[in-house]
Each structure stands twice: as structure tokens, then as C-alpha cells.
Amino acid sequence: MAESVFMADLTWPEFEAKTKANAPFFLPVGATEQHGPHLPLGVDVILPTGVCERVAKKVGGVVAPTIPYGYKSQPRTGGGQAFPGTTSLNAHTLSMVVRDIVHDLALHGVRRLAVVNGHFENSWPVVEGVDLGMREIRRDGIADFVVLRLEYWDFVRRETLDRLFPEGFPGTELEHASLLETSLTLLLRPELVDMRKVPSDGPAKFPTYDRTPVKPGFVPASGVLARAQGSSAEKGQWLMNDHVEGIVRAVRAEFGLLESEAGHGYDNRARAV
Ligand code: ZN
Ligand code: MN
């Protein structure tokens, strides 16, 4: 049986062996949110999970089950809560979920954890959850637990963005359900993408403020905020390469992993910073 990087596929003795070897753990945090008429509601789950799977394979890591719900979709970054199917948590609830998972992983011996966010609106509630989890861990007397928290899309190189957007990158916020997410989903789950349904009612033109309630027509009716035309699995692969290389580099640097450690156990707790 091929060894899985997914925690949910391990038995408890296998999990324990991973923690004893001080394997780095990954916690993807997603959302269940509209992504236009051409992409599934689970894009923000599929993408960070796929990134973590690839990174974990390179560093001998373990991927904890992805949190499938996220903080409320905002009109200017995800289309907002009004789209059918967008199902979200209060910020407090998400923070509590993150806190509890971080705490229990550390309690069971995880000492190096990367929390990998896949949904823009999750950022601060996840920061809060990690902070509350860390406080509990310290009260438990565990002093050598290190957590990285990151957004996978921040690991795209400038050159790749220039290749993808010869007319200029519109910005991560507007990229919702657009070229980046569509290309990555074409790479990971092509059977879930219907390129014939890519809309052309964008790009959104938002003011520099929020308004509640949202006026009709504020968000493009399709829920796609920029352009998805021209998306391809090949472009998704360029992005994935950047995400994986960049996050592997960060994890190795912060967790003190050597390249030779990829794929097998290590006993270097003392080198963790
Ligand atoms: Zn998304
Ligand atoms: Mn999202």
C-alpha cells in the first residue's frame, strides 16, 4: 500500500510514528462558496488541499483534514453571502475551530504546523485561532511548537504573473473564480470545470469601500469578479509549481528541514526554530 500524506488515511500508530519523527503537519483552511457558473462550490477546499498534498510529499509531511467552511464571503472579494450555496461560519466560530485543531495536534505531538489558507476572508479569523491555540499550548507547558500561517497564492513569482497577465495583474481580491482559480481547478479537478459556462460580465468595478446592504448590480451577476477566459491546466501548473516551490522553501527554512529529509523520517526536533 502506497503511503498516504493524508492524516485521515493513517491509523493512530502511523500518526504517532509521524509525530515521533517530527514530521511537519499541514492544515488547509477552505470555504464553501460560489465560484461562478463554471466552477464548483468547493474550489477553496480543492486548491489549498492540492497544494498541501504536493508540499507534504516533498518534505515528508502530513496533511490534516481540510476545514471545509470559511469566514463569510465578502462582496468585493468573493461575491458575498447572497449566492445560493455559499455557506459560511461566523468569524468567532472559525477561530474556535482553528484553535481546537491547533491545540489537539500539538497535544498529540505535532511540533511543526503550517496552516495554509485557501479563502481570502479567512485570514484574520485564522490568525485569531492560531493565537488562541498557541496560548493554550503554552499553558499546557509545550514550548517548542511552531506554527506558520500563510496564503498559498502569495507564493506566485512576479515572472509567472507577468506571463499570465501581459496587460497587468488585476490583484488577488478580484481574482475570485477568475484566471488563477479556474486554471488551478482545471489542473486538479478538470471534470468539475465547465469552460463553456465561463461568463463575460466582469471585471467587477468596485469602490474602495463596503456598503451594507449591498445594492443590486454591485457584484457581477455571475459571481466571477475578473476574467476567467484563457484559463488552462497548463497555466494552473505554472501556478502550482510556484506555490509548491515557495512553500517548500519556507517550510524547510522555518522548520530546519534538510532536502535529504524529503519523503522519510527525521529526528531533528532540536533544529526546529
Ligand atoms: Zn476561491
Ligand atoms: Mn474564497
Using pLDDT thresholds of 50, 70 and 90, give the confidence band for residue 264: very low
66 Cα distance to chain centroid: 9
Q: Round to the nearest angstrom and report the end-to-end CA distance of the chain.
A: 34
pLDDT in tens, 133-160: 999 999 999 999 999 999 999 999 999 9
How far apart are the CA of 33 and the centre of ligand 2, in A? 6
33 catalytic residue (yes or no): yes
Indicate if the pLDDT at residue 199 is higher than 80: yes
Ligand with minimal distance to 226 CA: 1
Rounded to whole angstroms, how far apart are CA atoms 28 and 168?
29
The count of other CB atoms within 10 Å of the CB of residue 56 is 24
Is the predicted pLDDT of residue 260 greater than 60, yes or no?
no
Q: Catalytic: 181?
A: yes
H/E element, 25: strand 25-29
Name residue 212's amino acid: T
| Contact residues for 118 (Cβ-Cβ < 8 A; gap 6+) | 28, 29, 30, 31, 44, 45, 47, 48, 49, 51, 66, 152
CA 74 to centroid of ligand 2, rounded, Å:
9
| Three cell numbers, residue 26 | 499541514
Whether the predicted model's global pTM rises above the 0.85 cut: yes
Which of 119, 175, 242, 243 does the annotation list as catalytic? 119
C-alpha 108 – ligand 1 centre gap (Å): 31
Ligand 1 mean position, distance from CA 118 (Å): 7
Residues with CB under 5 A from ligand 1 (ion): 43-44, 181
For ligand 1, the distance from its centroid to the CA atom of residue 266, given in whole angstroms, is 35
C-alpha 158 to ligand 1 mean position (Å):
20
Contacts (Cβ under 8 Å, ≥6 apart) of 237: 187
pLDDT band per the 50, 70, 90 thresholds, residue 207: very high
Q: Please write the tens of the pLDDT for every residue from 39-94.
A: 999 999 999 999 999 999 999 999 999 999 999 999 999 999 999 999 999 999 99
> Does residue 109 sit in helix, strand or coil?
coil
Positive or negative, the CA dihedral 233, 234, 237, 238 is: negative
Q: Which one is catalytic: 38, 53, 103, 176?
A: 176
